[in-house]
Amino acid sequence: MLPDSTKNLWRIEFKRLEGAYSPATMRSYYADVEAFEGWCRSQSVQPFPASVDVVCRFIEAQGHNRAPSTVRRRLYAIRKVHRLLRLPDPTYDEDINLAFRRVRRLRAARPQQAKGLTAPHLKKFLAVQPDTLLGLRNRAMLSLGYELLTRRSELVALRDDDLEVRADGTLRVLIRRSKSDPAGMGRLAFTSGETASLVADWRQKRGNHTGWLFCPVYKGMAVDRSLESHSVKRVIKNAAALAGFSKEEVKRFKGHSLRVGAAQDLLRNGIDTVGIMRAGGWKSLTVLARYLEQAEHSVWA
């Protein structure tokens, strides 16, 4: 086993990753390595350096109740620790590749796609928002997220300086960084006049004491900090419930629903895949295809 003085060394080394990876990725890395450590304790084996046999057993144990994507992410986290600690890396061994292939065959399943929040849904979601500061924020956030085809992390990361009002009253928005753009090259996106008006109303009522475009609202007052990304999912699900959707339907709406629904609407409106990829910042046609496969049936369904 590793000496007590070095058991938490990987946590110290993980500090080197800050700024190179998103906060969400860092949280996943910590959780995945802690899961591996916990399993190793239960088996009375050392986690680092890990043997090929230990990693294989961990992968196969995880495969019984975790999705293959989760198991793969945990394997990457184990690999990262070995590299940071300059330890022999067992994760490229062919036995581990075979163990992961067994996991994929054991739990073969289609990815669960979020329900698309299409234009008819959006209209309902906006209509049920209360006439309060929180309701103003939610209307602006839902409408902007839909028109920009944002991921929830992109939506909450927006700052006032990222918005430019154009001569026709619409907005030009700079999305500075995204999951598919870790280098921060950014992409430009544009809104309708209606969405620009909703954003302007929210900003006017919110005040100028924060630079975050969307911030928490506490006791009717705007708070000077960014929203957490999970807040987008909560707003969507609350709106779905207020709009009268069943509990099962509400479960299907997720943080990605704005992006999914907007992409489906673009396809139905005759925009080709190149245009949709440009609008949403997609790099993979395969990923986009999963978003669009329910387009023909998802206007109200």
Token digits for 45?
Answer: 């084996």
* Any domain includes 194: yes
The pLDDT assigned to 299 comes to 47
Question: For 24-42, what is the mean pLDDT?
Answer: 92
Q: Tell me the β-bridge partners of 171.
A: 165
CATH of the domain at 46: 1.10.150.130
Residue 108 has pLDDT above 90, yes or no: no
CA 68/CA 99 separation, integer angstroms? 11
Question: For 178-194, what is the mean pLDDT?
Answer: 78
Are 265 and 124 members of one domain? yes
Q: SS3 sequence, 93-118?
A: CHHHHHHHHHHHHHCCCCCCCCCCCC
* Any domain includes 114: no
CA 213/CA 225 separation, integer angstroms? 10
Question: For 281-299, what is the mean pLDDT?
Answer: 70
Residue 129 has pLDDT above 80, yes or no: yes
Are 97 and 167 members of one domain? no
* Any domain includes 112: no
Task: Give the pLDDT confidence of 70-94 residue by residue, as tens digits.
Answer: 999 999 999 999 999 999 999 999 9
Are 88 and 202 members of one domain? no
Are 74 and 184 members of one domain? no
CATH of the domain at 249: 1.10.443.10
* Any domain includes 59: yes
The pLDDT assigned to 105 comes to 86
The pLDDT assigned to 18 comes to 84
249 vs 23, residue with greater confidence: 249
Question: For 103-115, what is the mean pLDDT?
Answer: 74
Are 101 and 158 members of one domain? no
Are 159 and 264 members of one domain? yes
Segments forming the whole domain that contains residue 67: 4-106
The pLDDT assigned to 291 comes to 73
Are 255 and 126 members of one domain? yes
Answer with the one of 62, 78, 106 that is the final residue of a domain. Answer: 106
Answer with the one of 106, 139, 161 that is the final residue of a domain. Answer: 106
Are 169 and 206 members of one domain? yes
Are 51 and 198 members of one domain? no
The pLDDT assigned to 300 comes to 45
Task: Give the pLDDT confidence of 205-250 residue by residue, as tens digits.
Answer: 999 989 999 999 999 999 999 999 899 999 999 999 999 999 999 9
Are 143 and 248 members of one domain? yes
Residue 21 has pLDDT above 70, yes or no: yes
State what percent of residues in the chain have pLDDT above 70. 90
Total tally of structural domains belonging to the chain: 2
**What is the pTM assigned to this prediction?**
0.72
Answer with the one of 47, 75, 106 that is the final residue of a domain. Answer: 106
Q: Mean pLDDT of all residues in the chain?
A: 89
Question: For 108-128, what is the mean pLDDT?
Answer: 85
* Whole-Å CA distances, 260 to 6, 145, 181, 213, 296: 45, 11, 19, 22, 13
Are 189 and 66 members of one domain? no
